Amino acid sequence: MQIITSIQDLRAWRKAAGVVAFVPTMGNLHDGHLALVTEAKKHAEKIVVSIFVNRLQFGQGEDFMSYPRTLDVDAEKLQAAGVDVLFAPNEMELYPHVSQHYNVEPPNIQNELCGVFRPGHFRGVATVVTKLFNIVKPDVACFGKKDYQQLAVIRGFVEDLNMDIKIVGVDTGRAADGLALSSRNGYLSEAERAQAPQLYQALTQMAAQIRSGRQDYAKLEQQAVKTLTEQAWVVDYVEVRNTHDLQVAHAGDAHVVIVAAARLGNTRLIDNLEIHLEG
C-alpha cells in the first residue's frame, strides 16, 4: 500500500490507476470503515481511502481538537484490508489558503435533523467531499448509511453537479448488541457503553410497529423520545422521513427511514433504520 500525502502525487498515481473506488474517512478506523473497503473492492480495480479530520464540519465547542487521530494504526488496518492507496493530506495541503473561500452549499435539508444542532456541518462535509472527489476522481465512492443525512446530501450534490461518480451506500456496521459502530463510541464510559444499545432498541421497536401497520408517525416519535428521556438520554430528535430525499414521511410512503440523534452523557450518538413497506 502506498501512503500519499500530496495532491500532486495522488493525481500522478491516478493517471494510470484504471477504475478506482474511494472511501473518504476521518480515521480512527473500525470494522464499519473496513466494511466500506470490502464493498469498494466489488466495484473497482484499485481502492483509495482518505484520512483527513476536516475542520470545516466541526462547530464551535465540538471535538475537532480531541478527535482521535490514529494514523499509524489505521494504515496497518488498511494495508491488511488490501487498500492500494492511503491518501493522508495535512490541513495545509487541502486548505492552502487556510480558510475556504468557495463552499458547496446544500439545500435546506442541511438545516434540518442534525443540521439544527450542528449548523454549517453539512456545508463542511459537502465542501471537503467535493474537493476530495476532484482530487481522487473516483468512479465509485462508498459511504456508510449510519450517517444517513450525510449520504443524502452527497447523493444530492453528485446528481445536481453532474459528477460522474457512482455513490454506494453501505449498511451500518453494528456491535453484537446492536450499537452502531462509530469512532465516537470510544468516548463512552463503561456504564454508558452498556446503556448505549437503547437507542437502536428504540428504533427497532418503532420499526416493528410501523411494519405492523401503524402510520401515526408523530405519536410513535413522541413515544420513542419519551422512552429514551426516561432512560436518561437527551434526545435531539427521533423522526420518520422518506428515504428518497429525507422529507417528512406521510402515510402511504413505501420507503421510510427512522433517523435519530441523542446524547448519552457527553457523547452524541446517531442511528437510523430503513423500512420498506411495499409488498
Q: Is 32 annotated as a binding residue?
A: yes
Half-sphere exposure for 178 (CA within 13 Å, toward CB): 15
Residue 120 and residue 238: Cα distance in Å, rounded?
21
Q: Is 279 annotated as a binding residue?
A: no
Nearest Cα to Cα of residue 120 among 128, 91, 66: 128
Q: Is 144 annotated as a binding residue?
A: yes
User: Which 8-state DSSP code applies to residue 107?
Assistant: -
Residue 217 and residue 225: Cα distance in Å, rounded?
12
Q: Is 66 annotated as a binding residue?
A: no
Q: Is 265 annotated as a binding residue?
A: no
**Residue whose C-alpha cell reads 449510519 in the numeric block:** 146
Q: Is 33 annotated as a binding residue?
A: yes
Q: Is 219 annotated as a binding residue?
A: no
Q: Is 57 annotated as a binding residue?
A: yes
CB-based contact 34:81 (threshold 8 Å): yes
Q: Is 145 annotated as a binding residue?
A: yes
Residue 166 and residue 39: Cα distance in Å, rounded?
13
Give the residues across from 266 on adjacent strands: none
Give the residues across from 75 on adjacent strands: none
Q: Is 147 annotated as a binding residue?
A: yes
CB-based contact 262:234 (threshold 8 Å): yes
Asked about 33 being catalytic, the answer comes back as: yes
Q: Is 115 annotated as a binding residue?
A: no
Q: Is 54 annotated as a binding residue?
A: no
Catalytic residue, chosen from 33, 43, 97, 255, is 33
Q: Is 164 annotated as a binding residue?
A: no
Q: Is 146 annotated as a binding residue?
A: yes
Q: Is 29 annotated as a binding residue?
A: yes
The whole-angstrom distance between residue 48's C-alpha and the CA centroid of its chain comes to 17
Residue 14 and residue 45: Cα distance in Å, rounded?
12
C-beta atoms surrounding 3 within 10 Å: 13
**Residue whose C-alpha cell reads 429514551 in the numeric block:** 228
Cα–Cα distances in Å, from 274 out to 1, 29, 114, 271, 279?
35, 24, 17, 10, 15
Would you list which residues are annotated within the binding site for beta-alanine? 57
Would you list which residues are annotated within the binding site for ATP? 26-33, 144-147, 173, 181-184
Question: Which residues carry out catalysis?
Answer: 33
Would you list which residues are annotated within the binding site for (R)-pantoate? 57, 150
Would you list which residues are annotated within the binding site? 26-33, 57, 144-147, 150, 173, 181-184
